Structures are given as C-alpha cells and as structure tokens.
A and B are shown apart, each in its own frame.
Chain A
C-alpha cells in the first residue's frame, strides 16, 4: 500500500476509535515496508488527529520513547501484523496492573484475539505474550493489539476492551465463566482461516473506496 493510502487508513482508524470512545492515550501504527512504519506521534490526540501528526519511523533507528519501541517490537516479532494499536483504555489499563491473563469469556474475543490475553511484564517480553494472539496487555500500560490492517486492529481493540470490562463487571454478579480453552483455540483457528481472507479483501476494497 502506498504511504499516502496508509496515512488515510490511520486517519480513518482514528475516526473509528473516536466514534467508539476508545481514544485513551492511544497510538496507531501501520507497517510501511520492510524497513519502516508509520505511527501517530507520541502525545498526539487521536480525536483531533492531523496528517502532520503521523510520523515515519525506521526499524533500526534508536527509539525516543516507549511507544515507538513497542510498535517496532510488535512489527519485528509478528511479520503478519500490518497495524498495531496501543491504548490505555480504562479496563485494559486497569487489568494490566494486575498482571493477569484474561480468559476467553466471550466467543468474539476467542475468534478475533485468540484463546487468552496475556500480560507482558516488559517490552522485551511482548513478542512472547503475543504468540498466537492478536493482542496482549503490557504491565501498567494497557492493551496492545494488532491486525493485518488498521481496521482489523481497531476491531481487536474494541473486542479486547469490551472483554476486559465484561470480565470485571461479571465478577460483581457471580463469576466469569470461561469457554473451554481448546474450543476457544478452535474458534480462533476457524475465524482466521475461514473468514479472514474475505475480510481483508473487503477491508482493502473499503480502503480503495476511501470509506
């Protein structure tokens, strides 16, 4: 995808996160090529994002801050990831302090994220936490999600935050009852193999239409 198209997809992702009320200290990044990626500048407000707020970063340059380092770690560790979103959305940020693994309590979570959402203790262990998953938490930071496109990554963030909220609130009326682990893995496998190809074609068509 050309750089300008990628910038537009980040802008659309920002608008979508704004409409979903998921703009809490959020960074959106997209892989440009084998050597670089685009990302919203650290501290840029997603709700008033301007094209000038989107920077190009090289994988092998030094990183001035945590968010570029996180994006580079995800893109390097997950070659299939085309986009990364880092967010301090309330419930993911809250759970990330507890160093827990979020179990598969909703089937859309199992399909889109994977069987669990682990918490990495540091940027160095992010890749391990993301293995066979489209998301994880980073201790005291919040959620980190990825997808092949910005649209997929924003859907992953929506589902991860919803599941974190569901996990916490369901504990007030009883206790969250996870799906069997292997069924969650199976749902994720079926979703990725059966539906994702169609979704990415649709997503690319939407990008071209400028939707």
Chain B
C-alpha cells in the first residue's frame, strides 16, 4: 500500500525534479516550470523567475487550482493557469512539467506531431500516447492557449505547444519526469532521422545538418 505523500515531501521532490531537468538539459536558467497535485483543491508549483539550482522546498508555491489564489510571498509561475486547468480537466494527472527543451521546441516550431508509425523504441506510446499532438497556437497565458493544450492532451500524457515548448504529465512526479525525458529523446530521434535521410549521411552532427540545409 502506498503511503500518502506529505506536503513537505512533495516540496522536496519538486526541488529534486528541477535539478534533474537542469542536469539533463531539459530546462535552462529559470525557464520551464513544474507542479504536483497536493490535494483536491491545491497544487504546489515552482515560483516565477528563480533559478532551479537555488530553489528550496520552502520556495514552492501553494496555489488553489480553482481560484488561482496562492500562499506566501513568492509569486507562482506565470503558467499557473495552464497547470491548474490540466488538474481540473484530468483527475488522473498528479504532476505536470512544462519545458522549452531543444527538440520539443523544434517540433513545436514546425507545429508538427510525433506520428504513430515511429519505431517506438523508447515506449512513447505507453508513457504518453501516439501520435503526440501539437496544440494549436495561442499567446502564452491566454485562454486560447489553455484550451488548445487541453484538446491536444486528450487521452495523452504529453503534447507540444506551438512555438513554445512541451507539456509532459503523469500520475506522479516520477512518471511526469519519465514522460518529459522520453518526449525529448523521441523528438530528437525523429528530427535526426529526417536530417540523416535528407543528407544521406550516417552520423548526425551540426556540420551534417548545416551542409544538408545550405546546399
């Protein structure tokens, strides 16, 4: 039987997750944000504009998912509305990660989806669901962006956000982290295989890409 997680242990888990995202180059500086569902009414989110390396458990902000009211002096991430909407819409989700990671951003800039017929060596279909959709474009922080994201997340644990980045989710923080890593690495596989196909080379590199693009 699983022991219910305490608020303090969730705060600590958010700090650890932030450092892990940074270490794996899935976020840089203060970009991206993470949240966990605390109870039926509240979530804990990373604060706005603080470096992941400096975050402490006490810095995590408790936000009401219905009213968006928050406790404490630190402001929650500016993407709090998006996180709260996902928790309201999807009771099965317990953690959400938003990143601007490199290869997810490439998919998002092309507003492309990760298709169902990829060689699914990383298990995207079981972790997230294929195809991974790209949410229609909306200005960050707007209702349109939120609605488009919820649509793209239907029956999925992740999606790309047009011209913005990606969302990965899961029933726990560990599951969301796994989905986040898998989405980035599978996006990289997809993009690099397209480059290799066009360039006729066997190995992916900046040089291969640039020469295939420029010629």
Binding site for B on A (CB under 8 A): 20, 90-91, 94, 97-98, 104-108, 155, 158, 162, 165-179, 183, 187, 195, 198-199, 202
Contact = CB atoms under 8 A, between A and B. Distances in A.
Nearest to A206: B51
Contacts, number: 86
A90 B110 contact: no
Interface majority SS (helix, strand, loop, mixed), chain A = helix
A170 B28 contact: no
Nearest to A105: B109
B111 A177 contact: yes
B57 interface: no
A158 B49 contact: no
B206 A90 contact: yes
Nearest to B211: A94
29 contacts: A90-B206, A90-B207, A91-B210, A94-B210, A94-B214, A106-B100, A106-B105, A106-B163, A107-B164, A108-B31, A108-B100, A155-B29, A158-B28, A162-B102, A162-B105, A165-B102, A167-B109, A169-B106, A170-B106, A170-B110, A171-B110, A172-B194, A172-B198, A173-B110, A177-B109, A177-B110, A177-B111, A177-B162, A179-B137
Given A165-B102, A169-B191, A183-B139, A176 B109 contact: yes
B70 interface: no
Interface residues of B, number: 32
A89 to B, nearest CB: 9
A168 B209 contact: yes
Contact of A173 (B31, B106, B210): B106
B112 interface: yes
A168 B210 contact: yes
A34 B170 CA distance: 54
A173 B209 contact: no
Contact of B49 (A20, A171, A198): A198
Interface in B139-186: 139-140, 162-164
A158 B25 CA distance: 13
A126 B72 CA distance: 46
A108 B164 CA distance: 7
Contacts of A174: 110-112
Contacts of A187: 139-140
A91 B109 contact: no
A199 B108 CA distance: 27
B22 to A, nearest CB: 11
Query: Which of B31, B100, B109, B212: most chain A Cβ within 10 A?
Result: B109
Contacts of B106: 165-166, 169-170, 173
Given A174-B110, A177-B109, A169 B209 contact: yes
A132 B214 CA distance: 28
B195 interface: yes
Kindly name the residue among A107, A169, A198 whose own CB sees the greatest number of chain B CB atoms within 10 A: A169
Contacts of A106: 100, 105, 108-109, 163-164
B210 A90 contact: yes
B28 A173 contact: no
Nearest to A103: B109
B107 interface: yes
